Structure formats: structure tokens, C-alpha cells
Amino acid sequence: MLKRSTTGKSLSAAEKRLWSAAQVTAFVAALAVIAGLLVYPDWTLRLAWFGVVPLLPASFLINAGLWRGLCPIATANTLGAQDGGRILHGKTLQILLVVGMMLLIVLIAGRRLVLNTQGPVLAGLLLAIVAAAFVLGRVFRSKAGFCNSLCPVLPVEKLYGQSPLLYVRNPRCVPCDLCSTDGCLDIDPVRAVAPKTRPLDWMKTPFGLFSVAFPGVILGYFLTSDYPAAGAAALATSIFGGGLASLVLLGAGTALVSTVFHLPVRKVVATLGALSIGTYYWFAAPASVAAFGGADLLGTVLRAALMALVSVWLVVAIRRAA
């Protein structure tokens, strides 16, 4: 029978106050964004999609724990969590993880269909997610029911947070209570993404397939436009087709290179993560600057700075994998 882990030093009183204040602030800010999506949808959509969201991937490179410690949806999940709630493990956990990956891709497509332009729809979706996280926290122990399983952001947290540049104390799970027994990002970012196995075996896992397909999904998103300028069929072809093409072409290339050069799985996963986030920032950096009226030169500079951050992260990740 699983026993609660007592590993991990508890936060000091000052650290608890600081994190609590930050979590409350983030939760209030999220409520303000939801209200803004209803009252001032155009301005709030621009702030959300071109201001807030582009900050998250870079923060995951630094340490995904920064966002996991502040995330307002995680606050809702843990607010309702029960100490004696169910532990997630085995097939149930794996199914929910796969559902979370699928949800992420569907939501990316949903941005082009409606979420980029319809503030009330995005507000309703966010409220539904917060409510679901709270309810699941009443059923499953700690973060098992949402943050460590069903959350659509979790696959990206894992992919970009596999080799954090800085150490960040975990404010929510000290001591660890083993709410989900396999692949927890908070316990071990490396094993959560790439357990010790051959690259070819890892690529056959759900997360391996996601990691190979994700660069194509990102590229497909940026190579199309919002509906109705791009029809639904064109959107599906670009985003889902991009993922499928990446799965086939990048998957074959990755399998070949990893076999020929005998690359360890950690180097393969780090390279795929860098490719995904590099593709994202190549397009997102200038788009974010342009959304707020910035000059093209500023967009180019921001892109270069973010590419440099991704490069540093990749070098560090590969050195750690040696």
C-alpha cells in the first residue's frame, strides 16, 4: 500500500505568506481577465493571447514550478482537494494524461475557430475549467484529478520544463502526498518526461507521439488564420494535418538520427522541446509586439532574445543528459 511521503522540507512561514499572496493575486487577476472578456472583450483578448500567454513557455524553460505554484486553476484544484481523496495511478492516470494532450490540440484549433475572437466564449471556457478543477479536487487527492493528469497545459509544462534553468521551491506539495504515482513533474521533471528507455520505445508512448507531433501543430496554427478568413476545413488541414505530417516526417527523422548516433532519450526529448518552443516564438514574438503597436524591429529583437533563451536551455539540457 502506498504511504504518504515525508520527503521535502516544509516552507518557512515567510515563504508561505509570500506564495499565498502571489496565489491570491493570480486568482484575482484571472477573475479580472474573465470579467474583462465579458465587458471589454477585444482589449482583453489581445492582452491574454498576445501578452500573458506568450510569457508562459519561457517561464517553463526557467522552471515550470513558477507557473504551477501560481496558476489560478491549480489554486482551485487544491482548494477543493481532500487529504483522503483517491490516488491516481495505472491505466486511469494514463488515460487522463492522453485526454489532456488531446484537449491541448483541440484548444489550439479552437483558438482559430472562436477563442481568439469571442471573449464571452473564452470566459465561459475558463470558468468551466476552474469549476472542473475544483470538483475534481474534491474527488482526488491533492493535484491528481486535474493538475497532474487532465490539465491541457501539463504536456507543455513537461516538454518545456524537463530541464529547468533555476531551482524553485514547490509551494503546494510539501511534503509530497503521492497523489499521482507516475510521472509527476513536481517530483522529478526528467523522469516525468523521459524515463530511462530507448528513444524508439519512448516515441511509441503517448507523450512521445505528442512530442513528435507538437512542432507540426504549432507550425500549422501559425500558417493559417482565424475563422472565417480560413474555413473550418482549411483550419483542420493546417493544424491537425501539420501534427500528422510532423508525426510522420519528424518521427522518422528522429528515429533515424537517434539510432545512427545512439542518442540517449533525454537528448532526443530536449531537442524536440526546443524545436517546439523555438517554432512558437519564431512566430509569436513579432506577433505579440505587433498586436500592441510595436515596431517591426522590436519584434525582431524580441524573437532573437527568445531564440537565445531557447538555445541556452537546449545546451544546458543536453549537457545534463550526457
Q: What is the pLDDT along the chain (322 residues), one digit of tens a residue?
A: 333 433 456 788 888 899 999 999 999 999 999 999 999 999 999 999 999 999 999 999 999 999 999 999 999 998 867 667 788 888 999 999 999 999 999 999 999 999 999 999 999 999 999 999 999 998 888 898 899 999 999 999 999 999 999 988 888 887 787 888 777 888 888 888 877 788 999 999 999 999 999 999 999 999 999 999 999 999 999 999 999 999 999 999 999 999 999 999 999 999 999 999 999 999 999 999 999 999 999 999 999 999 999 999 999 999 998 7
Q: Are 9 and 174 in contact (CB under 8 A)?
A: yes
pLDDT of residue 20: 93
Assigned domain for 54 exists: yes
pLDDT of residue 182: 77
Assigned domain for 172 exists: yes
CA 210/CA 57 separation, integer angstroms: 17
pLDDT of residue 7: 42
Assigned domain for 57 exists: yes
- Residue bearing cell 475534481: 136
pLDDT of residue 5: 39
Assigned domain for 7 exists: no
Phi then psi for 232, rounded to 5 degrees? -60, -40
Mean confidence (pLDDT) of the chain? 92
pLDDT of residue 3: 38
pLDDT of residue 278: 98
Assigned domain for 130 exists: yes
Q: How many domains does the chain have?
A: 1
Q: What radius of gyration, in Å, describes the C-alpha atoms of the chain?
A: 20
Domain that includes residue 181, residue range: 17-321
Assigned domain for 3 exists: no
pLDDT of residue 82: 65
